[in-house]
Structure 1
Amino acid sequence: MLLTSLTLAALFVGHQDSPVAIPKADLPKKATCAVCEANGAGHEEEKPAAGARYKGLNYYFCSAKEIDEFKKDPEAFVPPVLPRPASALKAVDMTGRAVSLEANKGKVMLVDFWATWCKPCVKSMPALDELYKKNSDRGLVVLGISIDEDAKKVPAFLRKKPVSYSIAVDDLKEPTWAAYKVRTVPALFLIDRNGQIVAQWRGEPKMKEVAEAVEKALTAK
């Protein structure tokens, strides 16, 4: 789901280049819409309505609406570099304690940005809980960071749908979701034992793929 209630403008500042339109004659027969994919609404390849080249990469779009969104902030759609250092966490857990990467140094972390109003987030939580229970003794930490603007909704939600892994509430003034450039929820980030983001998922994740990536991180030397 799109973070419509949050200010996304703070996520990305400064662009070095401007997108250049790809002539219609050069468009492929089928392609994935870059905006839909980034917003967690990925679908099968289809005939693109337009395309643009930005920083050496081609991006394709399924409609004029997506083209306009891309032009507003093309930097937001540049594929993430992996691996890369994980940004600091600015959130507090349900006991009021600050969470941090340092406290989990040497462990594998799966950070899940979610919200009580996000149906795909809620749907994926039982699978995340099972993944945590299965691997917690091997050094896996799962941390769910709620982006709810009303923090009081989180404890009430957890009373109805409890999970075994840690849940925290994001900082509203300096949100962690901004540091991680989250555009949609759910958004998952896998951090290895060296504090590097080695995988990430936008939108409702394929849990088999997540589990395989977690296993790889846990067994890495």
Structure 2
Amino acid sequence: MLAASARAAIVLGKLMPWGQRATPALQAKALEDGRAVSLTEFSGQVVLLNFWATFCEPCEREMPALNRLLLKYGAQGLKVIGVNCGEMPQRVREFLDERVIFDGLPLLDRSQAQLKAWGIPALPASVLIDRQGRAQAWHVGELNWDAPEVQQAVKDLLAQR
């Protein structure tokens, strides 16, 4: 059975408020060089944290829209981070090289500890984080990132200082 907060995030096509829960620390490794990455590196930027896996078809379908968001809003301070859950680095590299569908920062969560820490019940899942490093909204399942109301949520966070 899913926790109430996880059930609330599974609303088709809508970002849901993060609520009063504290924002977990991000502890993952960069695919490129294996360095530890945390949210503090992105202070002052709006972060879209997307949890995904290569075997997840909805994850793959969502990635081009994440790229469009990055192209549209990256210069305004949006950072798109894809946290791969549980897979070997080589598999993730091959997947991304073959498809060229994700231009954000790919991270690895081999142990899947981040899924538990963030309360993620299923993939894909995304969390929008404000410039102060606080989670503001989230969604579990594939989301249409091109939808006007979803883009407005991103723009609203970018407008905050």
**TM-score of the aligned structures, taking structure 1 as reference length:** 0.62
Kindly indicate whether the alpha-carbon contact (under 8 Å) linking 2:18 and 2:137 is maintained by their aligned counterparts in 1.
Answer: no
* Partner of residue 126 from structure 2, selected from 185, 188, 213: 188
- Number of residue pairs aligned between Structure 1 and Structure 2: 154
1:169 maps to what in 2? 108
- CA deviations over 1:122-160 (Å, ceiling 9, x no partner): 000000011011111111110000013333210010111
- Structure 2: distance between partners of 1:40 and 1:122: 18
CA displacement at 1:82 relative to structure 2: 2.1
1:138 maps to what in 2? 76
CA displacement at 1:120 relative to structure 2: 0.5
- Structure 2: distance between partners of 1:41 and 1:152: 34
- Structure 1: distance between partners of 2:9 and 2:109: 20
- Structure 1: distance between partners of 2:27 and 2:72: 27
Amino acid at match of 1:146: N
* Partner of residue 90 from structure 1, selected from 21, 27, 30: 27
Distance 1:117 1:39, change over 3 A: farther
CA displacement at 1:220 relative to structure 2: 1.7
Question: 1:58-69, aligned counterparts within 5 Å?
Answer: none
- Structure 1: distance between partners of 2:8 and 2:49: 18
2:159 maps to what in 1? 219
Secondary structure of the residue aligned to 1:152 is helix
2:136 maps to what in 1? 198
1:118 maps to what in 2? 56
Contiguous gaps of at least 5 residues in structure 1 = 1-7, 13-33, 43-78
Point out the structure with the larger helix share: 2
Secondary structure of the residue aligned to 1:182 is coil
**TM-score of the aligned structures, taking structure 2 as reference length:** 0.83
1:3 maps to what in 2? none
- Structure 1: distance between partners of 2:20 and 2:62: 24
- Structure 2: distance between partners of 1:211 and 1:148: 29
- Superposition RMSD on alpha carbons, in Å? 2.8
Amino acid at match of 1:164: D
Distance 1:185 1:165, change over 3 A: same
- Structure 1: distance between partners of 2:25 and 2:58: 25
Kindly indicate whether the alpha-carbon contact (under 8 Å) linking 2:47 and 2:128 is maintained by their aligned counterparts in 1.
Answer: yes
Contiguous gaps of at least 5 residues in structure 2 = none
CA displacement at 1:212 relative to structure 2: 1.6
1:210 maps to what in 2? 150
- Structure 1: distance between partners of 2:73 and 2:119: 27
Identity of aligned residues (%): 36
CA displacement at 1:195 relative to structure 2: 1.3
The structure number with the bigger radius of gyration is 1
